[in-house]
Structure 1
Amino acid sequence: MDAQTLVDERGELWLALAPLWLDREPSERDFARMVEVIERHDLTLNELEWVFRIELAPVLARNQMSMAGEWRHFDEYKLMQRLVAHNLRLKGWRRTSWSLFSGLTTMMTRHRWNELMLRVMVARGETPH
C-alpha cells in the first residue's frame, strides 16, 4: 500500500480519532464527530480496535509521553505524515511488536476509547455486553 492510498482510506478516520490523545476529555461534539466518521467507514468493532491499537496508538502515545507534546491540538499535516510513515512500516515483526505492546500505548486513552465504542454500538443499534 502506498502513502496516498493510506491517506485516502484512513486519513479522515485517523484525524477524527486523534483527539482521544489530547490532554482534555473529548467533548460531546468530539464524540459525535468520531462516531459520524466511524460510521462512514465499514469497519467492525474488532477492526476499529486494531486501528486504535496498531495504527494510531504507537504514534499518538509518543505525543502524550513527550514533555513538549502538542496537548491542545495537533498539526494535522505533521500528524498525517507521522501516521503514514508509521503505517507504511507496519509489517511483519513491527506489527507483532506493536500488538504485543499495545496495552502500554493505549493505557492512557483506554477509558476514552471504551466510551467511544459504547457510543458506536448505540449508533449501530447493538447492545453493549
Structure 2
Amino acid sequence: MIDRATLLASRQTLWLSLTRLWLDSEPGIRDYEQMAEEILRHDYTHKQLEWIYRIEMAPVMVKYQVSITQGWKQFEAQRILPPLVRHTERLTPMKRRFWLLFSGLTTSLSRHRWVTLMQEVQHQQAMATRDIDT
C-alpha cells in the first residue's frame, strides 16, 4: 500500500489539473492544453491515466458534479485533495473492481471531456515527436 505522502507527491498536481473535467462550465481550449501539459509531465500510460480518471477520481468528483449546491467554478486543493486521498488509500482490489463496474455511471457526465482531453494529449505528443524529428 502506498503511503499518503507518496500518493500526494505522485498525484496531487495531476488530480488538481484534472478536476476541471468536473466543473460546471465546459473547459476551454487553454484548459485542455494545460491539462494535457500536466499529463505529459508524468510518465503514465494511457491505461494508467484511464484508471486514475475512472477509479481514483470519478467516484469522488461525480458527487460534487451532481450535487445541488452552488455551481462549481473551481475546486480548492484543501477541499478536494483529502477526499481523493482517502478514496484512493481505501482502494482494495475488490473496491477497484466495484468502481470499475460502476465507472460508466460515475464518468457519464465527464466522459466527453475526457475524450477531448485525450485527443489533446495525442496532439501534443505528435507535435513533440514532429519537433524532435525536424
TM-score w.r.t. length of structure 2: 0.90
Residues 14-43 of structure 1: CA deviation (Å, up to 9, x unaligned) = 000001000111012211110111000011
Matched, 1:83 2:84: yes
Q: Where does residue 42 of structure 2 map in the other structure?
A: 41
C-alpha separation between the residues in 1 aligned to 2:95 and 2:20? 25
Q: Where does residue 53 of structure 1 map in the other structure?
A: 54
C-alpha separation between the residues in 2 aligned to 1:124 and 1:74? 28
CA spacing shift, 1:101–1:90, aligned 2, 3 Å:
same
C-alpha separation between the residues in 2 aligned to 1:103 and 1:42? 25
Q: List gaps (5 residues or longer) in structure 2.
A: 128-134
C-alpha separation between the residues in 2 aligned to 1:121 and 1:82? 30
Say how many residue pairs are matched.
126
Structure 1 residue 92 displacement after superposition: 2.1
Q: CA RMSD in A?
A: 1.3
C-alpha separation between the residues in 2 aligned to 1:123 and 1:41? 14
Residues 105-120 of structure 1 correspond to what in structure 2 (within 5 A)? 105-120=106-121
- On the 8 A contact 1:63/1:70 being kept in 2, the answer is no
SS of 2:83's equivalent? helix
What residue identity is the alignment partner of 1:56? M
What residue identity is the alignment partner of 2:86? A
Structure 1 residue 69 displacement after superposition: 5.7
Q: Where does residue 12 of structure 2 map in the other structure?
A: 11
What residue identity is the alignment partner of 2:34? R
C-alpha separation between the residues in 2 aligned to 1:31 and 1:92? 31
Between structure 1 and structure 2, the one with the greater Rg is: 2
Q: List gaps (5 residues or longer) in structure 1.
A: none
C-alpha separation between the residues in 1 aligned to 2:54 and 2:22? 12
Runs of 4 or more, structure 1, over 3 Å off, are none
C-alpha separation between the residues in 2 aligned to 1:7 and 1:59? 16
C-alpha separation between the residues in 2 aligned to 1:60 and 1:69? 15
Matched, 1:29 2:30: yes
